[in-house]
Amino acid sequence: MDRVKKSAERVDEVMMRVILVGVGERGAGYLHALRDQSEGLDAQLVGVVQPRQDASVELMQQLQQAKIPLASSLSEAFHEMGMQADAVVLASPLQHHFEQCYEALSHGCHVLCEKPLASDYVQALTLEKLSMEKGLQLAVAYQHCYSKALRSLKQDVLQGRYGKPISMRALSLTGRSDLYYQRNRWAGRFYDEEGRCIMDGVLHNEASHSLQSLLYLLGDDGLDSAADVETVRGEWCRAHAIQSYDTAVVSVRTAQCPSVLMAATHNWAGRDTHRYRYVWEHGYAEGDWSQDPRLIVHSEDGIIDYGDCACPPREELQIFLDCLRSGQPVPCSVHSAKAEVAVCTGMYLSAGWIRTLPEHELQLVRGAAHTPDEGGVFPTSPRLSALLELCYQKGKLPFDLGGFLGGESKAVTMEAILRGIEG
């Protein structure tokens, strides 16, 4: 428990001073909450960090009119503009998370970072060590982990209410068009133009909430713990013209459970679905986050409804700030969030060559008004969707089922994951 106590130093100021980094899609929600004092955050937005060339003229004018200091980097904010803050909220592109977390912690600020925490596991461990040395909170915004529902279930699991875990599975089916990958310069890339590691892909981005949730429930070292990863095997492919992958299936062996599987794709023609099935000795939970956010467990004691797992950005921010004021540990710190990074790092090291799906296996659908990207082209594959469904049901990789996604992969150990991603 020393880990928790050391990283949970209380911030005495009632009005928390906050710097927001990034005001794009996710950052806009944080910006609205921080500027609207009627929401009761008791937080003062002391500055915004945003590369000026990446922000809209309208937004820049709004910030100037509100007399909110604007910097192009955290270094400029701290060292040239002299901004003083208790916490930094990071809603920047994921290739910047490591360096910005490191700079904020080094400057003595607590951090709330959008997912994922880092591009690879070595980066995550570096940040964990630094946050401990500084006695600062480093929280990661995995939505479900901030809900009372998931944390209440985790508490019951820790107390042995449902026995040992038998299997943990998740299936994320989403449709994303070519416009999704054209929305910025880093989407669908392993490395950015400057050579920084990104590792953007469906597993490390869209599906990471589902992946982190099942890993979190396996953690047996207190509420802020996640699975101890032992080996990772994965397969991937792509239908989009991207550098990275848009479909992946990963199998994970952990110290707590030998059967953990996550399947995800952006090549789906139907309504977005994020299914899960968690099985213990004396109960199971099964559902679809996108259709019903409630977390319900069927057990020998009957049906237990843990409530709603949804947690919007404003609520995450409120919980984070309240934890800083009280000195309590944040719901999802680097200690538990690093498990997701370990799996994605292992996936990269395991899967190898990315198969590009041939045109004859695809159906091209143009997005209608009700789709995420109206006018964009959505490549879909009924055969691929059926294969992912089978993987989810059986808890096995495509290769082991006689299917073909990316070919046979190797099992990657934590020893290899600890070396990180090179080149």
How do residues 50-105 score in pLDDT, each as one tens digit? Answer: 876 556 677 777 888 888 999 999 999 999 999 999 999 999 988 999 999 999 99
Among 102, 117, 143, residue at a domain's last position: 143
> Is pLDDT above 60 for 7?
no
Full residue range of the structural domain in which residue 16 is found: 2-143
Same domain, 172 and 201: yes
- Boundary residue ending a domain (143, 168, 197): 143
17 close to 44: Cβ distance less than 8 angstroms: yes
CA end-to-end distance (rounded Å), the chain: 37
β-pair type (165-173, 273-280):
antiparallel
Residues 155 and 126 in one domain: no
Q: Is residue 258 part of a domain?
A: yes
Cis status of the peptide bond prior to 382, with omega within 30 of 0: no
Residues 161 and 227 placed together within one structural domain of the fold = yes
Task: State which of 143, 160, 176 marks the end of a domain.
Answer: 143
Where residue 231 sits, what CATH number does that domain have? 3.30.360.10
- pLDDT tens for 271-316 read 899 999 999 999 999 999 989 999 999 998 899 999 999 888 889 9
Pair 67, 187 in one domain:
no
Q: What percent of the chain has pLDDT over 90?
A: 73
Same domain, residue pair 191 and 137: no
When pLDDT is cut at 50, 70 and 90, the band that residue 398 belongs to is very high
In a domain, 80, yes or no: yes
pLDDT at 169: 98
Interval 197-237: pLDDT, tens:
888 999 999 999 999 999 999 999 999 999 999 999 999 99
Q: Quick one: 131 and 159 in the same domain?
A: no
As a whole number of angstroms, the distance between CA 279 and CA 284 comes to: 4
In this predicted structure, what is the pLDDT of residue 420?
79
* pTM: predicted TM-score of the whole model, two decimal places: 0.93
> Can you tell me the distance from the alpha carbon of 385 to that of 367, in angstroms, rounded to the nearest whole number?
18
Question: Are residues 243 and 358 located together in one domain of the fold?
Answer: yes
3-state helix, strand, coil in the chain (%, to 5): 35, 25, 40
Task: Identify whether residues 129 and 208 lie together within a single domain.
Answer: no
Q: Measuring CA to CA, which residue among 2, 68, 61 is closest to residue 31?
A: 68
Q: What is the mean pLDDT of residues 254-262?
A: 96
Task: Say yes or no: 414 and 268 in one domain.
Answer: yes
Q: Domain tally for the chain?
A: 2
Q: What is the pLDDT of residues 122-158, one digit of tens each?
A: 999 999 999 999 999 999 999 999 999 999 999 999 9
Q: Which residues, including other chains, have CB under 8 Å from residue 165's CB and lie 6 or more apart?
A: 157, 217, 218, 256, 257, 278, 279, 280
**How far is residue 30's CA from residue 50's CA, in Å, rounded to a whole number?**
14
Asked whether the beta carbons of 114 and 141 are under 8 A apart, the reply is: yes
Residues 214 and 233 in one domain: yes
Which is it for the CA torsion 22, 26, 29, 34, positive or negative?
A: negative
H runs (alpha helix) in 352-413: 382-394
